[in-house]
Structure 1
Amino acid sequence: MSALFAQTGLHLSATDLCTCFMTQNAPFTTAQTQLMRAEYKAALKTVKPAMARYPKDPRFANLAGLAMCGLGQQRAAIAMFQKAIRLDPKFVDAQRNMAQTLILLDMPEKALKLLERMVTNTPGDEGAHYLQAQALANLGQTEAAEAAATRAIDLAPRQPRTFNLRGVLRTTLGLTDLALEDFEAALALDPNNVDTLVNISLPLARQTRYDAAQDAARRAVRLAPAHIGARMRLAASYVETGDPAAALDEYRQILTLEPQNSEAIEQLATLQSREENAALSKAARAALKHVGTRHQDRASLNFALARIAQQAGDTGTEARYLNDANRDMARVLPYDAIRDSALNRAIMDRFAAPPAETGAKQPIRPIYVLGLPRSGTTLAETMLGAHPDVQALGEQITAGRLLYPLIEAGTPFGADEIAVYLDKEQRMRPALPEGIAAYTDKMPENYRLIGFLKTVHPEARFVHLRRDPRDVALSMWRGHFSGRALNYTYDLRAMAHRFNLYAEIMAFWHRLLPGQILDLSYEDMTADPEAASRTLASYCGLDWAAQMARPEQTEAAVLTLSAGQVRQPVHRKSVGRWREHEAALAPFIAGLDPALWPGLER
């Protein structure tokens, strides 16, 4: 099967071949063969006269649509699929192909309307449920998409593509254990599927199975050396595990395959020296001229050029590129200040009194390292993870994934909900080694959920990182984050609004839980790592270990933007760096509420 049909799910039916002895089936069979060989121009040339000769045969319009999709003419293909469906309203292949093409054109709402009719009329159609899952996923309705994929698997339990899709959806939902089961099922059916190998790598890493994660990515690259996604995932795994030289080789290889790949250019700009980036600057500017209106690609290239200007000490040029990069990201991921404020209030309204510690005490204590992103949470967790009795788990999405829907729906958090939470948390959490006393979860924005976490884990410790908000803002402004959770970082006024909400809710938790949250200053931690690590150990009920004061020696993988920084000796180069960018940060600084940020140097 050609790559087009294997990757998109566009459907070439073999059922019509039974009538191939009829005269009009000769061009049909020829065109079908040409499509399978990815000879799209030839197929279209074959189909067009057949459409004129046999105007009532819907198959030729369907084949014309498939050929147009292969040629990148998806909008023209839609008209062909519509024609085929008008000629035969029960033509399932044309309906599927039209739905898939609408999804590819980023029109999932229209695809979903068509697919809802299909699954109603033919509930046993596995392909329609599969496409329904894709459309729902594109609309951000991940849970509904996962349910649709499950229906497709129930109807056809030997389709690797559907296990792979459900695995991706479950990864997004934080159901890492179930996602791995799906990817493993897909590989059992199709052991050499490159996309599945790429997809399984990240959840393996999240389960701290770093060697297996890297092996999956390596195998994908061996099977398909020109597969950009496979090489991107392998390069990322090298960054995560502290092998920048290998990562550089992979990103450079990607640029030989795709010279204007914006993500590879951005990653190279982060990893390369100032001298190496001089040549990359030309490539980034050239790519920027051809990227058009693809905002995320434009953002990646502008972030790359900003990094290169930063290395050169050109603050003005860096500021211009950062403005452009963040503006593009804000267009794609706008911030909803009203919704965010309402969420803060809804959380605080639940805790008129200290949380009742109704959860059962666990033998292994969770340590939540939290605060604003880029405030030093990775450094603090690395110190803790250096202790032989502590397992560092990195950023776990479990708490947010389970609690935010409950908060937004106003659902009570009583004994039944707590029991469900603990059960799901245990299934979603990576396996813990024998003999440890504690594990860390350094999802920074768990600061909003302290009351809930204290309820379910009375023995938990909360390490709160504090850092000058202007230095945090500068670091965020320079950062290109994955996902929607940090969309406020792309607008300076939105960032100030969110920082104020953070200061408000942290002050609330301190009043509610006096003496139960450790405030750790980033500035103090970088000034005296040994003293900070001793404070951490004491608060967490651990005997201090000397290696905690040398976090740069860690061999643990890091899956965040701090992956490269944490392996450098602890330094204070970024302390007070905001002053060099005060003009650029002016809208943010003006937006900070003095009542919530007392003592800031003005």
Structure 2
Amino acid sequence: MKQTAVESNPPDVVKANVIALVDAFERDVQIDHSSGPLVRLMTRLARHSQHDMEMCALALVQKQWPNAALAVLDVVESRYGSACSIDYHRAGAMRALGKLDESDALAKCALAADPTNLEAAIFLASNYRERGQLRAAAVVLHDYCQGAIARNETDNLLAALRFLSESVEIDIAAELCEAAIHSGLDDPRLIAESGKLALQLGEFELACARYKDILARMDRPHEMFSAQAISQTKKFTDPDDPDAALVFSALGAPGLSPTARASALFGCAKIYDDLGNFQAAAAALREANQIIHAERGWDEGEWSARVGRALQPELPRNEQGIDLNFVPIFIVGMPRSGTTLTAELLQKHPQVRSRGELNFMRQLDGYALSAPSQSRQDAVRHSAEIYATHLLRDDERFCFYIDKNPMNFLLLDLIFASFPSAKVICCTRSKGDVALSLWFQFFTSPLTNFCYSFVTLNRL
């Protein structure tokens, strides 16, 4: 007979309980290598609710104890019966064990039982993405988003759309975003997301319309950087352009945060530059960059250490290599030095495919460096295998694949350790031109925090 569910504790109590349970288990394991620690953990869990036990299983997976997590989930199921949440947490444990097919199957069961489960949808899509199966990942998220639109679940829809656009397919995310708006969902955040995606895809008229809608409807639209976005949608030639007036008016909005004011100033500077008013553009840029430099700062010591490591590699080379039937090409250099143009020119060759600016190499760098020294060779090899799947994906095959993330020059040690046969193209441009071009930009990545001061730019 299944037990009646015990009432769950408030979230802060659950968190404290889970931390205490897992900490006690880990201390126990250090002195007792038998099954005793797991038995004692089960005893401690006996008085806890189903939710608390599932959260304990989740924490065990995060702490790299997937087998213990599976044992806890078996007890939960025997005590309370099957549930889609149990399948979901089992999927996480199976992924930690490297059993991806089993993980996929469990995540599918959880999602089939509860189609509103955002975590299960993103988890399953992540599984596919990690193996380069972007089409399968896109199908999962496309189906989930369509359901969220039908259910008017704006928060979950936005989360799924952002994952889809950042990790899988931006054009599919944009299509779904427009479908949601046309279905009657008019949440300002959704409209802003539509504008952002349209801007990234070069659909400038749509982007401008969406951001103007935000300006007209929100109490604090400039915190969403709408004015700067409008400035990016066209080249301004008429000082009386009403869109220019919208951007300029942003500076007079009450209660602007420093970052929002800086964003508006970058937008004004772009328009002034388009109109040939270079003195006004320089004044706006000077204030905008001063604000962001003061807000974010720049850690020169960390930067120097990272550059030094790239020049004097610490990671062991993947001498055996992996079986590649293609050559990876990394186009690196300072931002605004011509990496995008170089990739576009190379991709004109029928045997070359550009994957844009990938961010996976930085994630893999942390994984390789955190591995114990005796297993770093295996970590480098595994990193190469993961990265190769993201280059190949599940579409047509090419002889050369390009990653044009300019900041990969900070990761040359991992690149050459993982792919001894990789080709690296380093783009250079006049230092003054690069510095001035960077000074015009408002970046989101902390890696580019050096851009907001000519003093720091001069040190690079």
Confirm or deny a common fold (TM above 0.5): yes
Check 1:401–1:170 CA distance in 2 against 1; reply closer, same or farther (3 A cut). Answer: farther
1:341-352 to 2 correspondence within 5 Å?
341-350=304-313
- Of 442, 449, 455 in structure 2, the residue corresponding to residue 487 of structure 1 is 449
Which residue identity does 2:303 align to in structure 1? D
Name the residue aligned to 1:215: 175
- 1:425 counterpart residue number: 387
Is residue 266–residue 285 contact of structure 2 (8 Å, CA) maintained in 1? yes
Q: Secondary structure at the match of 2:210?
A: helix
Compared CA separation, residues 404 and 237, structure 1 to 2 (3 A): same
Q: Distance in 2 between matches of 1:235 and 1:174?
A: 30
Say whether 1:233 aligns with 2:196.
no
The answer to whether the 8 A contact 1:180-1:204 is kept is: yes
The one-letter code matched in structure 2 to 1:307 is K
> Does the 8 A contact of 1:391 with 1:432 survive in 2?
no
The aligned residue for residue 15 of structure 2 is 116
| 1:175, distance to aligned residue in structure 2 (A) | 9.6
Q: Aligned AA for 2:193? A: R
Letter paired with 2:446 = R
Cα 1:165–1:455, aligned 2, differ >3 Å: closer, same or farther?
A: closer
Q: 1:174 to 1:381 in 2, by over 3 A?
A: farther
For 2:118 and 2:165, locate their aligned partners in 1 and report how far apart those are by CA, in whole Å. 22
Contact 1:392 1:439 in 2 (8 A): yes
Structure 1 counterpart of 2:297: 334
Q: Report deviation, 1:298.
A: 1.6
Q: Residue 154 of structure 1 aligns with which residue?
A: 89
Q: 1:290/1:311 Cα in 2 relative to 1: closer, same or farther (>3 Å)?
A: same
Alpha-carbon distance in 1 for matches of 2:149, 2:185: 17
1:367 aligned counterpart, secondary structure: strand
Work out which of the two has the higher radius of gyration on C-alpha atoms and give 1 or 2: 1
Matched, 1:245 2:205: yes
Structure 2 residue 288 is the aligned partner of structure 1 residue 325: yes
Q: Aligned in 2, Cα 1:164/1:433: closer, same or farther, shift over 3 Å?
A: closer
Aligned to 2:353: 391
Matched, 1:299 2:262: yes
CA distance in 1 between partners of 2:322 and 2:453 (Å):
42
Structure 1 counterpart of 2:75: none
Secondary structure of 1:247's aligned partner: helix
Give 1:310 shift.
1.6
SS in 2 for 1:458: coil
What does 1:352-431 align with in structure 2 at a 5 Å threshold? Answer: 357-407=319-369, 411=373, 414-429=376-391, 431=393
1:564 maps to none
Shift of 1:237: 2.9
Residue identity in the other structure for 1:232? A
RMSD, aligned α-carbons: 4.3
Q: What is the alpha-carbon distance in structure 2 between the residues aligned to residue 223 and residue 127 of structure 1?
A: 40
Q: Deviations over 1:526-554 (max 9, x none)?
A: xxxxxxxxxxxxxxxxxxxxxxxxxxxxx
CA offset at residue 317 of structure 1? 2.2
Aligned sequence identity (%):
20
Q: Does 1:267 align with 2:229?
A: yes
- Is contact 2:177-2:193 (8 Å) kept? yes
| Larger RCO (CA under 8 A, 6+ residues apart) | 2
Q: Aligned pairs, how many? A: 378
> What is the aligned partner in structure 1 of residue 24 from structure 2?
none
Other structure's SS at 2:398 match: coil
Q: Post-superposition shift, 1:282?
A: 4.2
Which stretch has the larger CA shift, 150-159 or 193-202? 150-159
Q: What is the Cα deviation at residue 256 of structure 1?
A: 2.6
Q: Which residue of 1 aligns with 2:415?
A: 453
Indicate how the Cα distance of structure 1 residues 430 and 296 shifts in structure 2: closer, same or farther if over 3 A, else same.
Answer: farther
1:483-532 CA-partner distances (Å, limit 9, x unpaired): 322222223323333x2xxxxxxxxxxxxxxxxxxxxxxxxxxxxxxxxx
In the alignment, structure 1 residue 478 sits paired with structure 2 residue 440: yes
Q: What's the offset of the Cα at 1:196? A: 4.0
Task: Please give the alpha-carbon distance, in whole angstroms, between the structure 1 residues aligned to 2:362 and 2:434.
Answer: 22
Which residue is 1:20 aligned to?
none
Would you say the 8 A contact 1:385–1:391 is kept in 2?
A: yes
Deviation at 1:195, TM superposition (A): 3.8
Is the 1:391–1:438 Cα contact (8 Å) retained in structure 2? yes
- Provide the rounded CA distance (Å) in 2 between the counterparts of 1:312 and 1:188: 43
Contact 1:163 1:183 in 2 (8 A): no
The answer as to whether partners of 1:371 and 1:447 remain within 8 angstroms in 2 is yes
The change in CA–CA distance for 1:321 and 1:91 in structure 2 (over 3 A counts) is farther
The residue aligned with 1:542 is none
Q: In the TM superposition, what is the alpha-carbon distance from 1:362 to its structure 2 partner?
A: 1.0
Q: Report the alpha carbon displacement of residue 163 of structure 1 after superposing the two structures with TM.
A: 4.2
Q: Which runs of 5+ in 1 are unaligned?
A: 1-89, 100-113, 134-142, 500-602
Aligned-residue offset at 1:188: 7.9
Q: Which residue identity is paired with 1:160?
A: N
Q: Distance in 2 between matches of 1:202 and 1:447?
A: 27
Secondary structure of residue in 2 paired with 1:485 = helix
How far 1:202 sits from its partner (Å)?
Answer: 5.0
* Contact kept in structure 1, 2:237 and 2:275, CA below 8 Å: yes
Which contiguous aligned blocks of 4+ residues in structure 1 show a shift greater than 6 angstroms? 164-176
- Structure 2 CA distance, aligned partners of 1:459 and 1:199? 38
Q: Secondary structure at the match of 1:226?
A: coil
Residues 298 and 151 (structure 1), Cα distance of their counterparts in 2 relative to 1, 3 Å cut: farther
Contact 2:177 2:190 in 1 (8 A): yes
Local SS of the residue matching 2:447 = coil
**What TM-score do the two structures reach when normalised by structure 1?**
0.53
Asked whether the 8 Å contact 1:166–1:182 carries over to 2, the reply is no
For 1:26-65, list aligned pairs within 5 A.
none
Output the CA distance in 2 between the equivalents of 1:200 and 1:328. 33
Q: Which moved more, 1:381-390 or 1:258-267?
A: 258-267
User: Once the 2 structures are TM-superposed, how far is the Cα of residue 264 of structure 1 from its aligned partner?
Assistant: 1.9
**Is 2:400 the partner of 1:438?**
yes
CA contact (8 A) 1:375 1:465 kept: yes
Further displaced range: 278-287 or 305-314: 278-287
Separation (CA, whole Å) in 1 of partners of 2:138 and 2:278 = 45
Correspondence for 1:315: 278
Conserved in 2, the CA contact under 8 Å of 1:393 and 1:430?
A: no
Work out the CA distance in 1 between the residues paired with 2:125 and 2:285: 31
CA distance in 2, matches of 1:337, 1:284: 34
Shift of 1:281: 4.7
Deviations 1:93-150 (A, max 9, x none): xx45xx7xxxxxxxxxxxxxx66325458674379969x99xxxxxxxxx89xx99x9
Counterpart contact for 1:207–1:431, Cα < 8 Å? no
Q: Which digits, 9 at most, give the CA deviation of each residue in 1:57-81, with x for residues without a partner? A: xxxxxxxxxxxxxxxxxxxxxxxxx
Cα 1:445–1:186 change in 2 (3 A) is same
